[in-house]
Amino acid sequence: MLQLIGLLVVCTGISILLFIRAQFARVIGFVAIVLGLFSLVALAVPQMASLPPAEEKFDIATVKTPTDMAAIGQKIFFSKGQCALCHSIGPSESARCPDLKGIGAKLSREFIFESLTQPQAYIYLDYRHEGPPKEYPARMPYINKNPIGLSKNEILSVIAFLQQMSGEPISVSPSELEVPGQSPAAPVKAAVEVPVTVAHAR
């Protein structure tokens, strides 16, 4: 449909140039041809849909060790979590947010968890210990809310990755992961004794 409109615009411009001698009209015809051709070329370019980052499948059954969690956390860090869009791992003058290199050794897991879920609780100018403070332009989003919306399991895995990346022992355990849809088993009720009435024959 759009290609047809572009073709009609080009044909209209050509018709104006061929049959109309007025200078102003001929300029309009030339502009119509140029715009129509640009439209046809643009529509001929394959369009790619802008899709959100692919979500990593979190199969708790395959997570046996903290290292497994860190591997999943690394994938989330660079994909669904979108952390690398603002943060760098290592010094970077173009980074929009603080450098996370060694962050797992500087901050406790509780502090990192709070920084991800309540990012405005504490505001730092810079995590670096050298050089003048640098105020970053980007504002940290709530990582557990939309549009990112990481689950608790995913956040714990990211923390495991940050600790491993910093050369620290991973303090997050696979036993802390929540199994989706699993609820505590209902307590078994004790059997109630019912009195039995015995009929005597006369």
Copy the structure tokens of residue 75.
């994938």
Distance between CA atoms of residues 44 and 119, nearest Å: 45
Distance between CA atoms of residues 160 and 58, nearest Å: 14
| CB-based contact 13:30 (threshold 8 Å) | yes
Q: Where are the domains of the chain?
A: 2-44, 60-176
Buried b (16+ CB within 10 A) or exposed e, 109-130: beebbebbeeeeeeeeeebeee
130-132-135-140 Cα dihedral, nearest 10 degrees: 10
How much of the chain, in percent, has pLDDT values that exceed 90?
Answer: 28
Distance between CA atoms of residues 142 and 147, nearest Å: 9
Amino acid at site 62: T
pLDDT (tens digit, 9 = 90+) per residue, 28-63?
888 888 887 888 777 777 766 655 555 556 778 889
Q: What integer pLDDT is reported at residue 201 of this predicted model? A: 43
Distance between CA atoms of residues 114 and 164, nearest Å: 19
pLDDT (tens digit, 9 = 90+) per residue, 122-175?
766 554 445 565 666 567 889 999 889 999 999 999 999 999 999 999 999 999
Structurally, at CATH architecture level, domain 60-176 sits in Orthogonal Bundle (1.10)
Q: What is the pTM of this model?
A: 0.60
Average pLDDT of span 174-188? 67
Q: Is the bond into 147 cis (omega within 30 degrees of 0)?
A: yes
Helices 23-44, 2-19: crossing angle, 10 deg rounding: 150
